[in-house]
């Protein structure tokens, strides 16, 4: 794990990484950052675009004239949906993900490990080349989308510091209007002698290929931190009477050993992701009221002959109680209540992941329309080998099941 001491570099004076990153002269570093309001699960998708790019750079023999790159994982700081007890907080990826598993796909390092790579006698880190990606305004106006990139005037004011560290900065910041796939950014690397690059607004670059074999390899490498899995497993066993052996949900320790299958059964409970919070305001016409959600849950429990529903939700307690009073006593509504140490150690992000895991292992899953939190559960269930019909379902806004189904993105090996 990480030590808080390692979170903030202490340096004495300023040099560029190109000049002084002396510990590992054969490496160059790629940083990326994302539009601040974006939530955790969209960020996971953006990570994949860059991990796939780095994977390709690492394996593509035609680009052997390029240096070796490391992808620096941006700490989880100031996420809009999370409450932080201490500000600024730089949460490393190891708190949520199995880093060794990520490394089996792409050459990633944590930010604090980058600080270790850096010569710590220097006060300030200056990233050699910063590119702020931005959309071509005219493409949205004309609807004519073509792949291109060009350095242009910036659409937004330029930031002075990066990643909420006031000693990470750059003297060379440019705005790159961009429409294309992430690996097309290779041309930026080829035309530069820099040893450190930051792509801000990284979400502007698209997936090279959404849903192909490489996409799924990368996705499979994104295993959660083992302890989070253990916590969810214990909860499933104790509160939902579910276990991997009976539910046919055992995966090999190494994602590279996974094989195609569709025989997962899942625990004898219905899994629901009921997204509320900001969605109640921003998507009121697309998500159900509590009563409408109840109708769909009850119908599905009847149809599947189940008597338990696990609800992952960011709803306030009064809404959960309302749902509970509608379902009980005939059906049990189970939610995850974290122990104090879990909340303290893993914070809001970890609790959300534990709930996602529990939904992933359910007999049947129903998510919330266009929530990336639900999308990630659907992917996890594809990896676990559930029949697609038990996964790609959404709560309809009107209490019926008649609304359109979510897009089905089946796993490819």
The catalytic residue positions are 38
CB 308 within 8 A of CB 240: yes
Compute how many other C-beta atoms are within 10 angstroms of the C-beta atom of residue 299. 13
Give the shortest CB-278-to-ligand GFB separation in angstroms: 5
Helix (H, G, I), strand (E, B) or coil at 176: strand
58, 60, 62, 67 alpha-carbon torsion, rounded to 10°: -10
Give the shortest CB-316-to-ligand GFB separation in angstroms: 12
Site map 365..394 versus ligand GFB, x via CB under 6 A? ------xxx---------------------
**According to the binding rule CB under 6 A, does residue 101 interact with ligand GFB?**
no
Relative to beta strand 129-134, strand 173-179 is parallel
Q: Give which of 382, 383, 385 is closest to 406, Cα–Cα.
A: 382
Q: Closer CB to ligand GFB, residue 314 or residue 380? A: 314
Site map 35..54 versus ligand GFB, x via CB under 6 A? --xxxxxx------------
Q: Closer CB to ligand GFB, residue 206 or residue 265? A: 206
Quick one: 86 exposed, middle or buried, by C-beta within 10 A (0-12, 13-18, 19+)?
exposed
**According to the binding rule CB under 6 A, does residue 332 interact with ligand GFB?**
no
Q: Closer CB to ligand GFB, residue 78 or residue 81? A: 81
Q: Edge to edge, what strands does the sheet with 122-126 contain?
A: 11-16, 122-126, 168-169
Q: Closer CB to ligand GFB, residue 31 or residue 40? A: 40
Give the shortest CB-365-to-ligand GFB separation in angstroms: 12
CB 266 within 8 A of CB 249: yes
Give the residue, chosen from 204, 351, 357, 377, that forms a contact with ligand GFB under the rule CB under 6 A.
351
Compute how many other C-beta atoms are within 10 angstroms of the C-beta atom of residue 237. 13
**According to the binding rule CB under 6 A, does residue 334 interact with ligand GFB?**
no
Q: Which residue has the tokens 């209540």?
A: 337
**According to the binding rule CB under 6 A, does residue 203 interact with ligand GFB?**
no
- Write out the binding residues for ligand GFB, residues 299-318 only, by CB under 6 A: 312-314
User: What stretch of H or E contains 362?
Assistant: strand 362-366
Q: By the criterion CB under 6 A, which residues form the site for ligand GFB? A: 37-42, 80-82, 273, 275, 278, 282, 312-314, 348, 351-352, 355, 371-373
């Amino acid at each position: 794990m990480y030590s808080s001491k390692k979170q903030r570099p202490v340096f004495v004076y300023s040099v560029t990484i190109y000049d002084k990153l002396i510990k590992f002269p054969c490496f160059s570093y790629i940083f990326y950052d994302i539009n601040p309001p974006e939530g955790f699960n969209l960020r996971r998708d953006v990570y994949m675009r860059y991990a796939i790019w780095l994977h390709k750079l690492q394996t593509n023999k035609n680009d052997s004239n390029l240096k070796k790159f490391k992808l620096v994982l941006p700490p989880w700081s100031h996420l809009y949906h999370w409450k932080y007890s201490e500000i600024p907080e730089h949460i490393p990826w190891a708190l949520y993900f199995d880093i060794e598993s990520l490394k089996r796909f792409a050459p990633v390092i944590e930010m604090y490990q980058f600080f270790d790579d850096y010569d710590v006698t220097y006060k300030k880190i200056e990233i050699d080349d910063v590119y702020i990606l931005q959309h071509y305004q005219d493409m949205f106006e004309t609807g004519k989308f073509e792949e291109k990139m060009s350095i242009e005037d910036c659409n937004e004011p330029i930031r002075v510091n990066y990643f909420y560290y006031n000693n990470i900065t750059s003297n060379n910041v440019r705005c790159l209007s961009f429409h294309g796939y992430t690996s097309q950014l290779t041309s930026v690397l080829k035309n530069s002698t820099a040893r450190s690059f930051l792509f801000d607004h990284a979400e502007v670059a698209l997936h090279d290929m959404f849903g192909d074999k490489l996409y799924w390899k990368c996705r499979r490498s994104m295993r959660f931190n083992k302890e989070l899995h253990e916590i969810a497993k214990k909860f499933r066993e104790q509160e939902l009477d579910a276990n991997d052996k009976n539910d046919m949900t055992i995966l090999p320790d190494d994602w590279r050993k996974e094989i195609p299958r569709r025989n997962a059964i899942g625990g004898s409970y219905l899994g629901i992701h009921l997204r509320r919070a900001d969605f109640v305001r921003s998507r009121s016409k697309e998500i159900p009221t509590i009563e409408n959600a109840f109708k769909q849950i009850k119908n599905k429990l009847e149809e599947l002959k189940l008597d338990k529903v696990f609800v992952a939700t960011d709803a306030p307690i009064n809404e959960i109680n309302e749902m509970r009073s509608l379902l009980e006593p005939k059906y049990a509504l189970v939610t995850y209540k974290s122990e104090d140490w879990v909340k303290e150690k893993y914070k809001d992000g970890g609790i959300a992941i534990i709930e996602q895991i529990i939904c992933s292992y359910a007999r049947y899953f129903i998510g919330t329309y266009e929530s990336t939190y639900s999308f990630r559960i659907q992917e996890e269930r594809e990896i676990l080998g559930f029949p697609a019909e038990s996964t790609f379902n959404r709560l309809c806004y009107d209490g019926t099941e008649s609304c359109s189904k979510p897009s089905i993105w089946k796993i490819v090996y």
